[in-house]
Structure 1
Amino acid sequence: MTEAQLQEWSGTVRAKAAGKLMAGWVALLWLIELVDLATGHALDAYGISPRDPDRLIGIVAHPFLHFGFGHVASNSVPLLVLGFIAALGGIRRFLAVSALITLAVGIGCWLVAPPNTLGAGASGLVFGLFGYVVVRGFVERKPLNAVVGLAVAAVWGGTFLLGVLPTDSGVGWYAHLIGLVAGVATAVLHRRPAAPAPVRDVS
């Protein structure tokens, strides 16, 4: 197998793995919401309850919980697309990035969200993945990833920019903002250095 064929095979395997992971992830969110509906929305109680030391589980659980199927639907497509793009860089790396973003959003919202509110939804993670995907190629100096990031920014940039503004009292814009910042920071922390240029032997 030539080097080009090996790279193509490796890319195909990664794409299949990333696709299966994200399809399963999104399906899990819908299944959890079905269970939530069947239990009279009992699972909603595991969302983020700001500054309540007895409800710290929400810091980890919040991206898997939603307030109705419309809420799940609004997050499904961007999570599927952005997660797939991010996971192409490696499944373990993607899971580490997602875990860091989730913790940052969970802890940040637990600290700054308004009192007597309940936070849930994958949107914070989605905004984090958006920031990660857009910035990753530039910090790693990888042209293909940079082009993909620019394309993602061109398609969704306006929507995500509006999402971090406090324009709707019913939307946790602070979770979006924390997620976006966490995604950018994670791209910097998890950057992979560009491969060094080959040394030319002219002797």
Structure 2
Amino acid sequence: MSISETGTHRPILRRLSPVVILLAAMWLIHFVDFVLPFVTFTGLGLLSWSVPGMLGILTAPLLHAGWPHLLSNTVPFLILGALICWESGRRFWTATAIIALVGGLGTWLVAVPGTLTVGASGLVFGYFAYLIARAFFAPKSPHRLGWLVLAVILGLVYGGAMLQGLAPWQFGVSWQGHLFGAIGGVVAAWLLYRRSAPKVLGAAG
């Protein structure tokens, strides 16, 4: 197999394109929402305990309540998402789908009925949890030590902010979205690395 076939030397932008595309979609949607009069997309967010509001499982991560909300999510989303993309774009999309589904359903069920939730912070918490859990669920490999080191670094850099984001007394902050997003990240890591673990065959006796 040639080096080009392994994909280890793909251009950086191509490797990171999934997270860049998703982040660009968030910015484009918010820009259109900002410049067009009498148009708002936030009503398409996740509306708890509403069957039509379940559509927000797909749309809510792309919507934000304002520029400060979008800006606060942009940097951690890009950094954490890029770390997942660096390994595999397919894993990024799969993990994102699992996190959005688990995080959305959990928020829909637990949040106060009629609560409207928007923002990518659930994905941010999910990516963080995924990267931490990956170090423990992944099969033994030469890369596992590096993943453990990365998990420790992420814990030191983002751990305090993540714990603060789970506090239920913060006004205007969806701790439910953060909590279930993180749970979705753990589920995604478990599913993806359980599936990728090599099977060990016993010798015939």
| TM-score, normalised via structure 2 length | 0.85
Structure 2 counterparts to residues 68-147 of structure 1, below 5 A: 68-140=66-138, 141=140, 142-147=144-149
**Runs (5+) with no aligned partner, structure 1:** 197-203
For 2:46 and 2:37, the matched residues in 1 are separated by 19
Q: Cα distance 1:10–1:166, how it changes in 2: closer, same or farther (>3 A)?
A: same
For 1:108 and 1:183, the matched residues in 2 are separated by 13
For 1:194 and 1:146, the matched residues in 2 are separated by 20
For 2:54 and 2:16, the matched residues in 1 are separated by 31
Instruction: Please give the root-mean-square deviation of Cα atoms over the aligned residues, in Å.
Output: 2.3
Where 1:42 maps in the other structure, the secondary structure is coil
- CA deviations on 1:83-139 (whole Å, 9 max, x unpaired) are 000112211121011001001111111111112321000000110000001110221
Partner of 2:203: none
For 2:159 and 2:188, the matched residues in 1 are separated by 19
Structure 2 counterparts to residues 3-18 of structure 1, below 5 A: 6=3, 10-13=7-10, 15-18=12-15
Q: Cα distance 1:143–1:14, how it changes in 2: closer, same or farther (>3 A)?
A: farther
1:194: how far off?
6.7
**Runs (5+) with no aligned partner, structure 2:** 201-205
Partner of 1:200: none
Where 1:190 maps in the other structure, the secondary structure is helix
For 2:94 and 2:125, the matched residues in 1 are separated by 16
Count of residue pairs brought into register by the alignment: 193
For 1:123 and 1:99, the matched residues in 2 are separated by 14
For 1:170 and 1:161, the matched residues in 2 are separated by 16
| TM-score, normalised via structure 1 length | 0.86
For 1:173 and 1:99, the matched residues in 2 are separated by 20
- CA deviations on 1:124-162 (whole Å, 9 max, x unpaired) are 011000000111022114112221122111111111111
